[in-house]
Structure 1
Amino acid sequence: MSRPEPDGADPATSGLGARVQRLRTQRGLTQRALAEPRYTAAYVSAVESGRRVPSGDAVAHFAERLGVTPSDLTTGRSPAEVVRLGLRLAEADLAGSVDETAAICREVAGAAADLAEPVLEARARLGLAGVALRRDEPGTASAQLDRAEALLAGAAPHVRAEVAAGRAGLAYHDGDPRYARYLLTEARDALLRDGYPDPSALLILHAELVRCHVALGDEGAAAGAATQALALAVLPAPARVAGLHLSVAASLLASGRTAEAAVAAEQARQAARQVALRWLLACCHRARGQGRRGAGDLAGALADLAGAHAVLVDAGQPALAREVGVELAEVYHALGQPGRADALLRDAVGLGGDPVVAARAERVRGLLRDDDGDRTGAERHLRAALAGYRAAGRRRELAAVVLLLADLMQGWGRPDDALDLLREGLHQVEQLGERVAVPRATA
């Protein structure tokens, strides 16, 4: 094994050592594996730390082992490396955990900064902002969004729209869905007005709009935005499609066909983004399903709500899954499938969580028991729904269940009990009105 020539250290070229270390780490090579058979691990360590400047032969050796050109390694500008970083961002969207996503995004952000690739760095920082929100760290998310926005100052409008979606996500997290809706609507309208109707950008804007409309109680607008978003989410198996494009891109890179690899990498990113948005798209299916149910399309509502429920369970969103499960149970009840409805309702009631969701589940369970002729069970569940809505201060729902149970009692031949319930229920609804009105009067 030959010994390295005594190259002198040069601080001006220390970036080369950092690139060697980063590329070696990304490829899973040890210093010895990179060095052999011509150099030593100690020599690689000295180069990576900036204590030695490698000769031209050493640079060529390292570049070959790392899969880049000598020029790429010395200048830090590598089309192939840019494609590799794009592939890593797609892998971040496909990651199975928040920690894995964060690690990949940090890696890409640092490498993209080294390569002076602002769009890649900005997208990595947007990924870090999303991770911060999932960890309930809005301050960190805001800082990452600020950096991303600065990096994208000269980018095309459809790329800058990604920051608008991130800002809206932060506003929604901070409890301001109205401002989030404003940001998303402005960004969407600007893209359509200025001639940049990028499908990927519009997909995330419409999907984010859905949850804003839902939070603001505008079910019609939510269903409309959901329809727009789902029309753009056209891949039936996005994870599989992303994986195929990743494989193709890697093969093209290995054969030196960088331009073609870049196309495959972008296709992988687009598919992977749909995977990353899966729980938001589940909310879109939910909103569209609610709209379809309101229009009397029970089959369409069933398809949307069942799909949404499955995704939310798989995505680790138990609270949302229980909410959708109750809505799905209502559709199963309307379609005459009580067994499926009852299984979903037991989950919503038995695991705690939102008392309003539990009360809604009790209401449907009461209807199921009445269908079975179990009047005692029906009354027990409906009274549990009354108690839940009363405790939650939900006047409209409380009044609706009072009327429902009173009507059933009338049909059961208990008119006096029905009248007593109506009187008691009206009094409770009025009391809730007073509890709500007093704070408003003294505000």
Structure 2
Amino acid sequence: MADATDSAVAARKGPRDRRPGRAQAQVHAARRLGEARIALAAGDAATAADRFRAALATAGDHELADEQVAALLGLGDCALETGELTVAREHFEAVEKLLAGEPLPRRATAIRGRAVSHLLAGELRYACHLLESAIDGLHAAGTQDPDALLLLHTAVIAPYMDMGAHARAAQAAELALALAPSATEPALVAGMHRSVARTLIAEGRIAEADASLAKAQELYQRLGFHSDLAKCHWMRGYVHAQGGNLEHAERELRLARDMLAAQRSVLFADQVEVELADVLRRRGSHSEAGELLARLLDRIGPERGAIHAAGAHRLLGLIAQEDGELEAAEEHYVNALSLLERAGAAGDLADLCRLLGDLLRSTGRVEAALDAYRTGLGHRAAIGTTTLGPAPAKPQSRPPAY
């Protein structure tokens, strides 16, 4: 990431005696970083990015390493919020380069950020690889850093769930819950509760999932983290949808979508709209759902929101099939299948293969239907997933649960 690292170390032109002293520059950078974090928490990623860039310039002028790292991490988080995944990845890579000689816990936040950028791009296996490698590295070194471990175990839940590795996701959730009492950052605990809720939903423990989200929401409200609060509403909408309470699901998802859109968290708002469209379809609003999904597919795709792009095609296929448009339905299912195979989303892929197989069988193409079923079964037959390899090692001893 040549641009980010160059900007981080470049010195400004001008007479040396006109530049602020190092101590003064440190104060200036710290103030900018504080302003940036407040703006990002409030959901204003654009303003936050401007403040982070200002802090980065000052830190680069005076070789303030900690401030450079903080500014680059902040810029990476801003880029994730606005859906600029390549830019985000470059910022996180720049941090890892600056911290190359530092202990692994110092690099954990950057590794997590880079993994999230790959996850959002639909590169699930690589996201898992990054997080698993870091977790194994911490355990191998005997590092007892609950914040770093909590961050990484929480982050790996989503790609595990998307890949259909539910047992691994549950294990990561269990370890994260055990680490939470030792964590020093409330935001990490809030993020853990939000991620653990997804494993509870998969186990059918809807009431517990909603309680976990309520804890996350309370913490985010206390911290003033508006973007994360919006994602809690998103998740609660998903919980209501899984429980069949479609009216409440629609209300929560619309609220989450509007909050994220107002904060210019474009990619996340698009992802919420896919789930909102599912609820609208289930409530009988085919026309509104179809129009919403058609617009979405102009903005998301293989390199940006691949899983949700596949979800959009899946829903359009269901709508077309329910309306008797079988050729259109098959086309959407095949498009979704291609996206899911590339991403390695085993659970969604198996479900999609079932839908496609049933459609093909209903039109008399039995051999083609069997091929679709075999494809889905092939992705479900392996333990966890066919490509992940061994699970991350468990820590030798867990922190005490106070």
Q: TM (normalized to structure 2)?
A: 0.54
Q: Distance in 1 between matches of 2:165 and 2:367?
A: 29
Partner-residue secondary structure (3-state), 2:164: coil
Q: Distance in 1 between matches of 2:51 and 2:135?
A: 31
2:196 pairs with 212, 224, 228, which one? Answer: 224
Deviations 1:248-296 (A, max 9, x none): xxxxxxxxxxxxxxxxxxxxxx64xx34657xx63x6555544554344
Query: Residue type of the partner of 1:234?
Result: E
2:70 pairs with 106, 123, 129, which one? Answer: 123
Query: Residue type of the partner of 1:76?
Result: A
Partner-residue secondary structure (3-state), 1:338: coil
Q: Distance in 2 between matches of 1:229 and 1:188?
A: 28
Q: Distance in 2 between matches of 1:326 and 1:432?
A: 24
Counterpart position of 2:218: 234
Counterpart position of 1:213: 160
2:91 pairs with 116, 132, 141, which one? Answer: 141
1:169 pairs with 104, 109, 116, which one? Answer: 116
Counterpart position of 1:430: 370
1:109 aligns with 2:109: no
Q: Distance in 1 between matches of 2:357 and 2:22?
A: 75
Q: Distance in 1 between matches of 2:317 and 2:228?
A: 32
Query: Are residues 384 and 79 of structure 1, via their aligned partners in 2, closer, same or farther at CA, if it must alter by over 3 Å?
Result: closer
Query: Mapping of 1:239-254 within 5 angstroms?
Result: none
Deviations 1:87-110 (A, max 9, x none): 233256268565x55543232124
Residues 207, 229 of structure 1: 8 Å contact kept:
no
Query: Are residues 287 and 296 of structure 1, via their aligned partners in 2, closer, same or farther at CA, if it must alter by over 3 Å?
Result: same
Query: Residue type of the partner of 1:179?
Result: H
Deviation at 1:85, TM superposition (A): 3.2
Deviations 1:274-330 (A, max 9, x none): 34657xx63x65555445543445466445433443345445566765554343344
Query: Residue type of the partner of 1:49?
Result: P
Residues 330, 364 of structure 1: 8 Å contact kept:
no
Counterpart position of 1:331: 279
Residues 101, 131 of structure 1: 8 Å contact kept:
yes
Q: Can you give the 5+ residue segments of structure 1 that lack an aligned partner in the other structure?
A: 1-20, 23-44, 55-61, 63-72, 239-269, 368-377, 406-419, 439-443
Q: CA RMSD in A?
A: 5.1
Deviation at 1:385, TM superposition (A): 2.0
1:384 aligns with 2:328: yes
Query: Are residues 306 and 131 of structure 1, via their aligned partners in 2, closer, same or farther at CA, if it must alter by over 3 Å?
Result: closer
Query: Are residues 327 and 76 of structure 1, via their aligned partners in 2, closer, same or farther at CA, if it must alter by over 3 Å?
Result: closer
Counterpart position of 2:129: 179
Query: Are residues 110 and 346 of structure 1, via their aligned partners in 2, closer, same or farther at CA, if it must alter by over 3 Å?
Result: closer
Query: Mapping of 1:41-120 within 5 angstroms?
Result: 49-50=15-16, 76-77=23-24, 81=28, 83-90=30-37, 93=40, 96=44, 101-112=48-59, 117-120=64-67
Query: Residue type of the partner of 1:169?
Result: V
Q: Per chain length, whose mean CA-contact separation is higher, i.e. which structure has more relative contact order (CA < 8 Å, sep 6+)?
A: 2
Residues 359, 386 of structure 1: 8 Å contact kept:
no
Deviation at 1:343, TM superposition (A): 1.7
Counterpart position of 2:318: 363
Radius of gyration: which is bigger? Answer: 1
Query: Are residues 231 and 189 of structure 1, via their aligned partners in 2, closer, same or farther at CA, if it must alter by over 3 Å?
Result: farther
Q: Distance in 2 between matches of 1:400 and 1:143?
A: 40
Q: TM (normalized to structure 1)?
A: 0.50
Q: Distance in 2 between matches of 1:387 and 1:78?
A: 59
1:343 aligns with 2:343: no
Query: Are residues 397 and 139 of structure 1, via their aligned partners in 2, closer, same or farther at CA, if it must alter by over 3 Å?
Result: closer
Residues 129, 166 of structure 1: 8 Å contact kept:
yes
Partner-residue secondary structure (3-state), 1:234: helix
Query: Are residues 351 and 286 of structure 1, via their aligned partners in 2, closer, same or farther at CA, if it must alter by over 3 Å?
Result: closer
Q: Distance in 1 between matches of 2:66 and 2:280?
A: 47
Counterpart position of 2:301: none
Deviation at 1:128, TM superposition (A): 3.7
Counterpart position of 2:304: none
Counterpart position of 2:384: none
Query: Are residues 80 and 322 of structure 1, via their aligned partners in 2, closer, same or farther at CA, if it must alter by over 3 Å?
Result: closer
Deviation at 1:388, TM superposition (A): 1.9
Query: Mapping of 1:283-322 within 5 angstroms?
Result: 286=234, 289-296=237-244, 298=246, 301-314=249-262, 321=269
Q: Can you give the 5+ residue segments of structure 2 that lack an aligned partner in the other structure?
A: 1-10, 171-193, 199-208, 299-308, 338-348, 379-402
Residues 177, 215 of structure 1: 8 Å contact kept:
no
Identity fraction in percent: 17
Deviation at 1:118, TM superposition (A): 3.9
1:397 aligns with 2:338: no
Query: Are residues 275 and 121 of structure 1, via their aligned partners in 2, closer, same or farther at CA, if it must alter by over 3 Å?
Result: farther
Query: Are residues 390 and 316 of structure 1, via their aligned partners in 2, closer, same or farther at CA, if it must alter by over 3 Å?
Result: same
Deviation at 1:433, TM superposition (A): 6.1
Partner-residue secondary structure (3-state), 2:159: helix
